[in-house]
Copies of this chain bind each other. A is one copy, B any other.
């Protein structure tokens, strides 16, 4: 897995690849990749930014794909539950996963200036946490690791 979000990249390609990967994963696991679910993933993929459920809903509304909160939340829940998107607790928002399919402990770098979000491998941090928790007898099931700060571009721009 590679970190994405801050550096430039062929974004059309990156979107297409993710969509295809998710499509295949759904087929393989017998999951229904319905139009709403697919469209919500596309909306998230469009930007490497976290979007609130209501931001997503606004887009769906314009396109006649749904107009009430549960529509957006259900699609987002599906994507998150299956590892195709992640929820950023700090922002009450969602991002498309940059490595759908791969088992990974994601870790997010959130720029407070431009709101960019990068997903980066959190293996080391997550392992450190698991071992600390294990010593206490705590059984870790899920880990959320989120850093807030300045992305490279904003560090440079800022000062």
Contact = CB atoms under 8 A, between A and B. Distances in A.
Contacts of A152: 136-138
B125 A6 contact: no
A13 to B, nearest CB: 21
Number of copies: 2
A69 interface: no
B144 A90 contact: yes
Contact of A132 (B90, B112, B121, B133): B121
Given A89-B89, A121-B132, A128-B128, 20 more contacts: A6-B136, A109-B133, A111-B138, A112-B141, A118-B136, A118-B138, A120-B132, A122-B129, A125-B145, A133-B147, A137-B151, A137-B155, A138-B152, A138-B155, A140-B148, A141-B147, A141-B149, A144-B144, A144-B148, A145-B146
Interface of A is mostly: mixed
A89 to B, nearest CB: 4
Interface residues of A, number: 40
Contacts of A21: none
A107 B132 contact: yes
Interface of A: 3, 6, 89-90, 107, 109, 111-112, 118, 120-122, 124-133, 136-152, 155
B150 A139 contact: yes
A132 B124 contact: yes
Contact of A138 (B6, B125, B139, B140): B6
A147 B6 CA distance: 26
